[in-house]
Chain A
Amino acid sequence: MSRSYNEEIGFIEKIDSVRYKIKKGFVPNMNVDGLIYVNDSIKDLVFEELEQYSTRGSAGGFLPAVKQIANVASLPGIVGHSLGMPDIHSGYGFSIGNVAAFDTEDPMSVVSPGGVGFDINCGVRLLRTNLTEKDINPIKEQLCQSLFDHIPVGVGSKGVIPMNAKSLDAALELGIDWSLGEGYAWVEDKEHCEEYGRMLNADPTKVSDRAKKRGLPQLGTLGAGNHYLEVQVVDEIFNKTAASKMGIDQVGQVCVMIHSGSRGMGHQVATDSLTLMEKAMARDHIHLNDKQLACSRINSQEGQDYLSGMAAAANFAWVNRQSMTFLARQAFAKAFNSAPDDLDMHVIYDVSHNIAKFEEHMVDGRPKKLLVHRKGATRAFPPHHPLIPVDYQFTGQPVLIGGTMGTCSYVLTGTELGMKETFGSTCHGAGRSISRNKSRNNLSYEGVLDSLQSKGISIRIASPKLIMEEAPESYKDVVQVIETCHKAGISQKTVKLRPIAVIKG
């Protein structure tokens, strides 16, 4: 029998100004509690969704994000909490902004493609330059056009880097090492990528021919949706020491942010695995609250195959972002008539916000090997963690948070508290607040463009409908998302960036 909103809200307990606990019983079979991070400014968006569900039922085929967080808490082998970051919103099975860790020592533990997302290893990369806004302004439009010409965007786009089946297999296996070997990467780029730009358990034979066929022409393309390449300028520096370690030393300094993933390849890997896992669940007696949570035991054939295929798709995503880095460097070099290294176009960091990885964390006072799913959540390891680059050992891992088309982006750093509370994770972006349909109906094309123009933002976009769908009004206020994480202490503000040129699908 369905519960009223008041009955539902009775299971949600406010712990402090940014933490809410979802208690066991909110949905059946919860193994752990849920924990969500929202402050007063954005909590209404989360709870309104639940209220609508209580009165009118689910909309758009997805359950409300808090229900999804609780459903994940009912999966076998989960430890700690099922965590919701401040930018949570409904997604396929798992909400976007959900972190869930599964104990690898527990034979019942599962891996779920829904916990990673369809765009495997969707992530953000930030390049710095030694240019300032003054240097860019006179040629901003030409630069924006040049970037648009170098990096194809949109659904069905094809890249300018020639690939064949053999080189694709190598890229899937080697990740950024393939780019290094071919000369699309600088050696320092690898050092500043999560996982050093390569997942070692990748196995291209676990990627279907269909997925490969989809990925082959797409290398070096941005894709559509919320993916973008932005030329940004440093707007505010919160932590001078950490910023200078990243090579950011002044307000007005120009950076380039690339947000993209594994394109059709990752989508196909996820789809293929979901089909296989749905069949295997009956065999393995896995019962779920929501069939979108389709999963397999980590050690089952289906689970292992998915992890190997997912790793290969993740490698493809790194190669993709690296290829776009190569092309962006070329565009800048042509625009400023100098070599990219003279422009100091180094990678500050590259994060992944849709991935599942084996990591060691403390659980009940003991170190445990966990399979941590981060879907729309970013790894944020603290200072001195062995898996972060030497340059950031004293600052903590840089965390790159992309805003929306007209709003700010942030660089955060990981903290010890985050390591203890959220398996070293934090938010990933602004997070949608209204559906794409609603955005198209409520916003006007001219209105959004005028607003961007008044902010001095140049834009090149392949699909006009994206102007409304990706307008800042369609998203949560990124500032409040960041403030929540900062206040909760799961990551710390370091640098704020604002866009001056955007290219999008």
Chain B
Amino acid sequence: MSALLLKKLNVLRYSHSVAISLQDRDTFISIVSYLLENYLDNVHSAKELLSSSTDSNWEISLKKFFNENGFIDIQDASSIQDRERCLHFLADQAIKASYKKNSEQIHETKYKCLQTMKFKGFEFDKEELSQYIIKLAKLFNVKIIDDKTKLDNIMAMIIRIAKRKMDEVDFIKEKEKEKETKSDTNNNNNSNNNVTTTAQPTITSTYKDNSKNEIVNNNIFPLGFDFQDDKMNTAATILRLLYVSDLRELQTKINQVLATVQSYTADPQTNFKLGVVGR
């Protein structure tokens, strides 16, 4: 079984004590049943397929289930390849269904989760970690409080300061660029005078990317920021385009709903006898 499928099943909380083998018919049936029972019970004829899990011709029922719902084509449900394809497909459907069902809660708690996840792996009582945090705190000029229980607060402060420092990178890059231009001018002047100099390495060199990949036009789709790296800019632009197209689809659906409601409620009226021109 592929690692990706295993990941998907883990996300869907399918528990298994031993390694999953798709060669085993019972295991395959049990995974399919688990997905149908827990996530896809609303799909047409899912209940029939679940009730036939002990039948010897279960594979025929599975094929029929896939056909009736317009899912992918299963040629041979006893082959490992088709079993894996089938599970991939059902797992994807299950994830979608689960997301749809819990989307509100997921969005509400996303921020909180991210906050708690930040420090999940940290054990603040470890001496070594405490020392590192204190060193970092000194580096960032954060006041050190001896109370160890406050270390997570100090860590949060350090992260906030570091993030702000990251925002200054653009400024540093600009400064370095200016320096580079100046040093180029100096070099030119110096070479005219036949004096040899070595240009100082600059931060900008680490941001430069000489790839010849196609760049998505920044003039037409401005990002509002510049990674100074063609690959990154292109990737960010593509992500933005995808996001905006999703947003457009969402807005169109909202408009469709509004139009449907409007067709029941709208009754615009005008009465020109009411109109009075002022002075």
* Cα-based distance from A64 to B278 in the complex (angstroms): 32
A156–B262 touching, CB < 8 Å: no
* Cα-based distance from A327 to B278 in the complex (angstroms): 18
Residues of B within 8 A of A187 (CB): 255, 258-259, 262
A384 contacts the other chain (Cβ, under 8 Å)?
Answer: yes
A160–B267 touching, CB < 8 Å: no
Q: Which of B224, B251, B269 has a CB less than 8 Å from the CB of A383? A: B224
Q: With A180-B262, A390-B247 known to touch, is A462 a contact of B240 (CB < 8 Å)?
A: no
What total of chain A residues lie within 8 Å of the partner, measured CB to CB?
Answer: 42
Quick one: closest B residue to A466, CB to CB?
A: B279
Q: Which of B167, B240, B267 has a CB less than 8 Å from the CB of A183? A: B267
Quick one: closest B residue to A222, CB to CB?
A: B278
B272 contacts the other chain (Cβ, under 8 Å)?
Answer: yes
Question: Which residues in chain B, 181-237, are within 8 Å of chain A measured between CB atoms?
Answer: 219-224
B269–A162 touching, CB < 8 Å: yes
B265–A181 touching, CB < 8 Å: yes
Residues of B within 8 A of A191 (CB): 251, 255
Residues of B within 8 A of A162 (CB): 269-271, 274
Residues of A within 8 A of B269 (CB): 161-162
B275 contacts the other chain (Cβ, under 8 Å)?
Answer: yes
Q: Which of A241, A384, A390 has a CB less than 8 Å from the CB of B248? A: A390
Tell me, rounded to whole Å, the shortest Cβ–Cβ distance linking A460 to chain B.
Answer: 10
A152–B244 touching, CB < 8 Å: no
Most buried by B among A154, A241, A394, A463: A394
A153–B278 touching, CB < 8 Å: yes
B268 contacts the other chain (Cβ, under 8 Å)?
Answer: yes
Residues of B within 8 A of A462 (CB): 277-279
Quick one: closest A residue to B270, CB to CB?
A: A160
Q: Which of A155, A156, A160 has a CB less than 8 Å from the CB of B274? A: A160
Quick one: closest B residue to A385, CB to CB?
A: B224
Most buried by A among B244, B265, B275: B275
| B-contact 0/1 string along A136-174, CB 8 Å cutoff | 000000000000110011111111111000000000000
Quick one: closest B residue to A465, CB to CB?
A: B279
A416 contacts the other chain (Cβ, under 8 Å)?
Answer: yes
B4 contacts the other chain (Cβ, under 8 Å)?
Answer: no
Q: With A365-B164, A393-B247 known to touch, is A156 a contact of B265 (CB < 8 Å)?
A: no
Q: Which of A156, A182, A383 has a CB less than 8 Å from the CB of B267? A: A182
* Cα-based distance from A384 to B236 in the complex (angstroms): 12
| B-contact 0/1 string along A214-235, CB 8 Å cutoff | 0001000100100000000000
A152–B279 touching, CB < 8 Å: no
B251–A152 touching, CB < 8 Å: no
* Cα-based distance from A390 to B246 in the complex (angstroms): 10
Q: With A162-B269, A183-B267, A390-B244 known to touch, is A152 a contact of B275 (CB < 8 Å)?
A: yes
What total of chain B residues lie within 8 Å of the partner, measured CB to CB?
Answer: 32
Q: With A182-B268, A390-B244 known to touch, is A159 a contact of B278 (CB < 8 Å)?
A: no
Residues of A within 8 A of B248 (CB): 390-391
* Cα-based distance from A156 to B271 in the complex (angstroms): 18
A475 contacts the other chain (Cβ, under 8 Å)?
Answer: no
A326 contacts the other chain (Cβ, under 8 Å)?
Answer: yes
A93 contacts the other chain (Cβ, under 8 Å)?
Answer: no
B266 contacts the other chain (Cβ, under 8 Å)?
Answer: yes
A-B contact count (CB 8 A): 101
Q: With A182-B265, A326-B268 known to touch, is A390 a contact of B251 (CB < 8 Å)?
A: yes
Residues of B within 8 A of A180 (CB): 258, 262
B258–A224 touching, CB < 8 Å: no
Tell me, rounded to whole Å, the shortest Cβ–Cβ distance linking A247 to chain B.
Answer: 15
Q: Which of A158, A224, A383 has a CB less than 8 Å from the CB of B275? A: A158
| B-contact 0/1 string along A119-148, CB 8 Å cutoff | 000000000000000000000000000001
* Cα-based distance from A184 to B269 in the complex (angstroms): 9
A398 contacts the other chain (Cβ, under 8 Å)?
Answer: no
Quick one: closest A residue to B274, CB to CB?
A: A160
Residues of B within 8 A of A389 (CB): 251
B265–A183 touching, CB < 8 Å: yes
Residues of B within 8 A of A463 (CB): 278-279
Question: Which residues in chain B, 128-154, are within 8 Å of chain A measured between CB atoms?
Answer: none
B18 contacts the other chain (Cβ, under 8 Å)?
Answer: no
Residues of B within 8 A of A384 (CB): 223-224, 240
B11 contacts the other chain (Cβ, under 8 Å)?
Answer: no
* Cα-based distance from A149 to B259 in the complex (angstroms): 29
B274–A183 touching, CB < 8 Å: no
B272–A156 touching, CB < 8 Å: no
Residues of A within 8 A of B277 (CB): 148, 152-154, 157, 462
B268–A158 touching, CB < 8 Å: no
* Cα-based distance from A376 to B259 in the complex (angstroms): 34
Residues of A within 8 A of B266 (CB): 181-183
Quick one: closest B residue to A463, CB to CB?
A: B279
* Cα-based distance from A463 to B278 in the complex (angstroms): 8
B268–A394 touching, CB < 8 Å: no
Residues of A within 8 A of B114 (CB): none
Question: Which residues in chain A, 381-400, are within 8 Å of chain B measured between CB atoms?
Answer: 382-384, 389-391, 393-394
B276 contacts the other chain (Cβ, under 8 Å)?
Answer: yes
Most buried by A among B265, B267, B278: B278
Excluding A162-B271, A181-B261, 16 further A-B contacts by CB distance (< 8 Å) are A149-B275, A152-B275, A152-B276, A155-B279, A158-B275, A182-B268, A183-B262, A224-B278, A365-B167, A383-B224, A384-B223, A390-B247, A394-B220, A416-B224, A463-B278, A463-B279
Closest 5 CB pairs of A and B: A183-B266, A154-B278, A157-B278, A158-B276, A183-B268
Can you list 12 A-B pairs with a CB-CB distance of less than 8 A? A152-B276, A155-B279, A156-B279, A158-B276, A160-B272, A162-B269, A180-B258, A182-B266, A182-B267, A182-B268, A187-B258, A394-B240
